Chain A
Amino acid sequence: MKTLSIIESAYRGTIEEQDDTIVWLHGAMKGAGADVALLLRGNAVNYLVEGQDAGGLAFGEWRQTQPPRIAKDLAALIGKGVEIRYVADDLAERGIERDELIAGAQPVARAGLADLIGRYERVWHW
């Protein structure tokens, strides 16, 4: 069943998990054959910004070697055929320019959300 997942909760536990658990979940489901698409809204639109660097975490002698690289994870999903959209209004409200984003993510206007959602048989909101 064609499913749209709306990701709104952002940067929740991403440093410790070394990724976003919901983005990761969809990578795993895609690998299992799921027909999923993602819509990023709210603060989650920032996940698409390419120039993020969460590296450098250290506690005592312990060093994190695999910090989260969420934009890269999303780019990998696009590479596997997952459609990724973002709410353009949410991007603009945060002062993020479209040329800061990874390639392949498509904007959708807030006014167009109802039409978009109507194209899917199942919608999950994370």
Chain B
Amino acid sequence: MADRKTITIAIMDAPYEGARSTTALRLIDIAARRGYNINVFAYEGAVLQPFVAQKPHPNAVHGRTVEEENHFMPKDAIAALMRAAEHNGGKIDWVNCGLCVDERGAAEAVPGVRRGSPADFWKMAEASDNTLVIATR
């Protein structure tokens, strides 16, 4: 597709601590449905979004088993988004800031996530139709 759009999104928020990371995933979902090529640069706490050690849990306060709780796992959402992008002819290139990963011990990520640096963010932005920064506050 000659007119396939490429966007780059920078995110910074760790999972479970705000709505900005959910918003970022929702925007990626729309772009994936449209077959866009999507670059993601995960900085600071956002490198924990695709962290493979995330585990679902039951919820005793709500009286639900682990299956009933079906707790939101960002890593699963990201994997699903990667499949959706590919299904629609696009792709997601997810780059985790390497130093941020080292600080947090978050090296293990779902397949398709690669280690990088701010230089990758710059290169991705330069090669994109547009860039969206969703900074932490």
Known: A15-B22, A18-B71. A62 touches B76 (CB 8 A): yes
Task: Establish whether residues A28 and B61, one from each chain, have CB atoms under 8 Å apart when the complex forms.
Answer: yes
**In the complex, B4 has a CB within 8 A of chain A:** no
Minimum CB–CB distance from A75 to chain B (whole Å) comes to 13
Grouping DSSP codes into helix (H, G, I), strand (E, B) and loop, the B interface class, with mixed when no group exceeds half, is helix
**In the complex, B1 has a CB within 8 A of chain A:** no
Q: Cα distance A102–B87 when bound, in Å?
A: 44
With a CB–CB cut-off of 8 A, which chain B residues contact A73?
61-62
Minimum CB–CB distance from A42 to chain B (whole Å) comes to 16
With a CB–CB cut-off of 8 A, which chain A residues contact B52?
none
Task: Establish whether residues A15 and B19, one from each chain, have CB atoms under 8 Å apart when the complex forms.
Answer: yes
Q: With CB as the reference atom, state the residue of chain B lying closest to A21.
A: B16
Q: With CB as the reference atom, state the residue of chain B lying closest to A65.
A: B70
**In the complex, A17 has a CB within 8 A of chain B:** yes
Task: Establish whether residues B84 and A60, one from each chain, have CB atoms under 8 Å apart when the complex forms.
Answer: yes
Q: Cα distance A77–B50 when bound, in Å?
A: 34
Interface size for B (C-beta < 8 A) is: 31
Give the contact-size bracket for chain A: 20 to 34
With a 10 A CB-CB cut-off, give which of B61, B80, B82, B83 has the most chain A CB atoms. B61
Minimum CB–CB distance from A20 to chain B (whole Å) comes to 11
Minimum CB–CB distance from B100 to chain A (whole Å) comes to 19
Minimum CB–CB distance from A15 to chain B (whole Å) comes to 5
**In the complex, A57 has a CB within 8 A of chain B:** yes
Task: Establish whether residues A24 and B16, one from each chain, have CB atoms under 8 Å apart when the complex forms.
Answer: no
Known: A24-B61, A59-B25, A66-B68. A16 touches B16 (CB 8 A): yes
With a CB–CB cut-off of 8 A, which chain A residues contact B61?
19, 24, 27-28, 31, 73
A interface residue numbers (CB < 8 A to B): 11-19, 21, 24, 27-28, 31, 57-62, 64-66, 73
Q: A24-B61, A66-B69 are in contact. List 6 more A-B contacts (CB 8 A).
A: A14-B19, A18-B59, A18-B72, A61-B83, A64-B70, A66-B70
